[in-house]
Amino acid sequence: MNMSSSSQTQSELKALECHFTWVKDVTSSELLDMKVKLEDIGTHEGNFWLGSVYNLWGFVLYKVDSSEEALQFLSKTTETLKCLRKKDEGPWLVVNYGNLAWMHHHLGEEAMSQDYLSKIEALKSKFPSPSQDELHPEIYAEKAWTLMKLGEEKKQLAADYFQKAFNMQPDMVQWQSSRVIALASAAKHRDTYLSDDFLQEIRTAREQDPENLYVAAVELKLRNRKGESDEAEKLGQKILLQPVSSYSGLKPLLRLHRQQGSLDEAIVLTEKALQQHPDERYLKRCAALCYKWKVLKFRGDQVDQRTVERAIQLHKEVIALYPDTSFAKKIDLANVQAKSSQSRTEADQMYQELLNMENLDPGDKQLLYYSCARFLHFECHDSNKSIRYLMMSAEIQPRNFYGRKSLQELQKIRDRGTNQMSIEIRRFLENLPDDDSY
């Protein structure tokens, strides 16, 4: 290939709508986290998004240096999409062919790359976008689904793309369902979307996509926050009959039980699920989460040793089952161990081990320092050292959820004015630069 044709190919590749042009500036730990999430979605039949799962999975595998496996997944995507849509071609293949064009280019197989570029042009000609200035709705939907997996700040944009796709093709109720899931996920730590309009939107999605139990669980959770009644027990029984998946609706239902103060019911539900599927790591993760919530509510002599022991056992199993993304789970284990006098030494050792780790992402550092601050304050009763870790967390940018929580804690301490470090905290906050990322 001569220089001019090589340059043209590069230009054509960069103009493609696919994961190689959408997913930028992701860290290795974020890629591994994405891979784990894709694995937990499951590959059961009937999953509307199975083609999208394989498509993103293939891209992630390439980024973590598994090119041969990546190509297998991207080829599997092509067959899966054809099977799901019951057609041999359609606009839903454009993103997949874009990924394949990039993959063959990176593998030095330029003829194959060019072949896929030609296939994309043929598809775009045969299935044009309804508007010259906009993407095809199938591409908007795939882009939106991908952005949902890229972190909190991308979920609003994902919801906007789903809306565009659904406006163009309103018979695709799965796009509307995914839009409300994205919005609800973005609002997980806020009350932004508790408006009547949003509740009506999610009710509509539930009516039009009644088989989507994740949407049903999200609706019940939001209705509960508004003080409305729910049908949690009935929904839980339905979820237990579904294939195990992170989109089965189990986790939002567990969060609903937490909101209602019914953690025992959440634990019973996850234990029942584990009895049915004892080897499913996602269910162990959900069970560990429920036990963590229960244990962290213990105060003083309330600690139930059997509950703590079950929580510790589950967390250790989860860490072994998720070796590539075990960082946050080790913090959870330390926090659970800290609630028992019999395992507090292990908790301290775990924190020391995590603090000695090198090359942590900024987000992981904020989580670690915030968690360490709470451990020092509540379990070690060392207020001054706790405040130091809150400062370390708050000054890291861009601030994530835990960095913002650390900042809020420091502001509360400053406002109370009773801590011996109040003056130092005030000076620290005055000199802290604003974070414009949110």
- Residue type at position 352: Q
Assigned fold of 134-260: 1.25.40
pLDDT digits 0-9 by tens, 305-345: 999 999 999 999 999 999 989 999 999 999 999 998 889 99
Report the alpha-carbon distance of residue 32 to residue 55 in Å, rounded: 16
134-260 and 1-128 share a CATH fold: yes
Q: Check pLDDT > 90 for residue 42.
A: no
Structural element, H or E, at residue 196: helix 196-208
Cα-based distances in Å from 331 to 298, 355, 393, 424? 18, 11, 15, 28
> Over the stretch 406-423, which tens digit does the pLDDT of each residue have?
999 999 999 998 899 999
Residue 157 Ramachandran class (φ > 0 left, ψ -120 to 50 alpha, else beta): alpha
pLDDT digits (tens, 9 = 90+) for 140-152: 999 999 999 987 7
In angstroms, the CA 178 to CA 212 distance is 10
Q: How many CA atoms lie within 13 A of 185 on its CB side?
A: 25
Alpha-helical regions (H) of 23-109: 28-41, 50-63, 67-85, 94-106
Angle 159-162-165 (CA atoms, 0-180°, nearest 5)?
155
Query: What does the alpha-carbon distance between residue 19 and residue 58 come to, in Å, rounded to a whole number?
Result: 10
Helices (H) and strands (E) in the chain, counts: 23, 0
pLDDT of residue 100: 98
User: Which architecture does CATH list for 1-128?
Assistant: Alpha Horseshoe (1.25)
C-alpha 214/C-alpha 225 separation (Å) is 17
* 3-state SS, one letter per residue, for 255-314: HHHHHCCCHHHHHHHHHHHHHHCCCCHHHHHHHHHHHHHHHHCCCHHHCCHHHHHHHHHH
pLDDT > 70? residue 176: yes
Band of pLDDT at residue 190, cut at 50, 70 and 90: low
**Is residue 282 within a helix (H) or strand (E), and if so which, with residue range?**
helix 281-296
The pTM for the full model equals 0.91
User: 75 is written with which tokens?
Assistant: 């080829």
- Tokens 């003056």 sit on residue: 423
CA distance 372 to 366: 10
Q: Decide if 340 contacts 308 (C-beta within 8 A).
A: yes
183-187, 344-348, 353-357, 428-432: the lowest-pLDDT one: 183-187
Q: What are the CA-CA distances from residue 54 to residues 51, 230, 347, 401 (Å)?
A: 5, 35, 38, 29
**Chain-wide mean pLDDT for the chain?**
92
Cα(207)–Cα(428) distance, integer angstroms: 51
Q: What percent of the chain has pLDDT over 90?
A: 77
Q: Count the neighbouring beta carbons within 10 Å of the beta carbon of residue 250.
A: 26
- Domain range annotation of the chain: 1-128, 134-260, 358-438
SS percent in the chain: helix, strand, coil, step 5: 70, 0, 30
Asked whether the beta carbons of 96 and 51 are under 8 A apart, the reply is yes
